[in-house]
Amino acid sequence: MSVISTNQSTSLPSWRQADSTPFLQIDNVSKQFGDFTAVNQVSLDVYQNELFCLLGGSGSGKSTLLRMLAGFEQPSTGRILIDGVDMSSIPPWQRPVNMMFQSYALFPHLSVEANVAFGLQRERLGKNEIHRRVREMLDMVQLGHLAKRKPHMLSGGQRQRVALARALVKEPKLLLLDEPLGALDKKLREETQFELIRIQEELGITFVVVTHDQEEAMTLATRIGVMNQGDIIQTAEPQEVYEYPSNRFVAQFIGNVNLFEGLVVEDERDSVTIQCDETQTLLQVNHGISCAPNQSVSIAIRPEKIRLHRTPIDSKVNSASGTITDIAYMGSQSVYKVRLESGKEVRITQPNIIRDTSDRLTWDDFVYLDWDADSSVVLTS
């Protein structure tokens, strides 16, 4: 019996367990360049075996934060602890950390094998051990058969995996990856994302990955830290970031969203009712917020959560009506734009389940929209 209960408690991810110790602790870290603040009082805990993604637009401070973890930059204020040790006075080469650079940092005149072995040779390890570790790592990234090739004889994706093998062969406890798949085309990037997850899980090394690509973060991450202008504005599991964005910026940054503006008319413990002029209806959301009466808020609803109807619907709440102004057929789904009477434009996506659609909705059709109360969220900031 005790075995079962132990298993149950350990199956919860570390960040959801109150008593687990973080592997990486970023404690109120800021970085100033002159009077410009690139990273602003960031506090963040990352746990062992996490594949944590720092996600944000260009210039949001992601690389600066990563470089402070590696020791290439010093924090202006705050502390970084790795495995319980304060890194303030530890130089980059003595940290249990490695950074994966873009594949163009490979040595062009060295073979795949020699590129991967390079870091180990500098550690003066025995020849046999180096050979064994290099072979193991090349097998791990599925490049064993290309060990003798030079980088220019590899595809972009293969070069990227050499760079990964080179970073991993030194067995860091923490691997930092700055836009690791940025140079790959979309299809290859998606395949490589799954490779990266497999390798991370097999090795059990903690990864911190920087990306500006929200789909990439959603695919890769155990948790995502969303950055904007030097701040981490939400840290959560991918699904939570998407379904329960904590503010307007996150809602709009991650995926597509419709934001309606309205005034709170009823604020219950577990529901909120909002008067919305844009839809000319009441909107109801199934979670409580704490706010002043008449506070103005945004209601966020994802395009795939809105239903489209040809005929009027009974419900007076969480509904709207308008005219189709645009349709984009995207293969697996179609995107509809509907202009409400208020002028507000709403985006709706519908999966293309059946091929023949003689009854397909088309431009200028008048349509009725509705959605469920637990499909939307209220945003107050």
Q: Contact with ligand ADP (CB under 6 A): which of 24, 29, 51, 63?
A: 63
33 binds ligand ADP (CB under 6 A): yes
List CB contacts of 318: < 8 A, sequence separation 6 or more. 281, 283, 284, 370, 371, 372, 373, 376
For residue 142 the two structure tokens come to 């599925």
Side-by-side strand order, sheet with 206-211: 97-100, 174-178, 206-211, 51-56, 223-228, 231-236
63 binds Mg ion (CB under 5 A): yes
From 55-63, 76-84, 233-241, 325-333, give the range in contact with ligand ADP by CB under 6 A: 55-63
Site size for Mg ion, by CB under 5 A? 1
Which residue number, 54 or 138, has a Cβ lying nearer to ligand ADP?
54
Which residue number, 68 or 297, has a Cβ lying nearer to ligand ADP?
68
Which residue number, 58 or 358, has a Cβ lying nearer to Mg ion?
58
Least Å distance, CB 69 to ligand ADP, is 12
Least Å distance, CB 67 to Mg ion, is 9
38 binds ligand ADP (CB under 6 A): yes
Which residue type does 7 have?
N
Which residue number, 192 or 211, has a Cβ lying nearer to ligand ADP?
211
Pick from 304, 311, 372: which is nearest to 336 by CA? 304
- Which residues, 101 to 130, sit near ligand ADP by CB under 6 A? none
3-class DSSP assignment, residue 308: strand
Least Å distance, CB 357 to Mg ion, is 44
3-class DSSP assignment, residue 147: coil
Rg (CA), the chain: 25
Angle, alpha carbons 109-110-115 (nearest 5°) = 140
Residue 375 binds which entry of Mg ion, ligand ADP, none, CB below 5-8 Å type-dependent: none
Least Å distance, CB 86 to ligand ADP, is 23
61 binds ligand ADP (CB under 6 A): yes
Least Å distance, CB 36 to ligand ADP, is 6
Which residue number, 33 or 329, has a Cβ lying nearer to ligand ADP?
33
Which residue number, 7 or 58, has a Cβ lying nearer to ligand ADP?
58
String of DSSP letters for 197-232: HHHHHHHT-EEEEEES-HHHHHHH-SEEEEEETTEE
For residue 252 the two structure tokens come to 């709009």
Least Å distance, CB 62 to Mg ion, is 5
Residue 348: CA count within 13 A, CB half-sphere: 29
From 57-65, 238-246, 280-288, 317-325, give the range in contact with ligand ADP by CB under 6 A: 57-65
Residue 193 binds which entry of Mg ion, ligand ADP, none, CB below 5-8 Å type-dependent: none
The answer to whether residues 286 and 329 touch, using CB atoms and an 8 Å cutoff, is: no
56 binds ligand ADP (CB under 6 A): yes
Residue 130 binds which entry of Mg ion, ligand ADP, none, CB below 5-8 Å type-dependent: none
Task: Please give the Cα distance from 262 to 297 (Å, whole number).
Answer: 6
Which residue number, 119 or 182, has a Cβ lying nearer to ligand ADP?
182
Task: Please give the Cα distance from 298 to 114 (Å, whole number).
Answer: 56
Backbone angles phi, psi at 78, to 5 degrees: 95, 175
Give Cα 371 distance to the centre of its chain: 26
Which residue number, 63 or 279, has a Cβ lying nearer to ligand ADP?
63
List CB contacts of 202: < 8 A, sequence separation 6 or more. 140
Backbone angles phi, psi at 287, to 5 degrees: -150, 150
Which residue number, 33 or 363, has a Cβ lying nearer to ligand ADP?
33
3-class DSSP assignment, residue 39: strand
75 binds ligand ADP (CB under 6 A): no
Least Å distance, CB 170 to ligand ADP, is 24
Beta-carbon neighbour count of residue 17 at 10 Å? Answer: 12
Summarize as ranges the residues that interact with ligand ADP (CB under 6 A). 33, 36, 38, 56, 58-64
Provide the binding-site residues for Mg ion, judged by CB under 5 A: 63
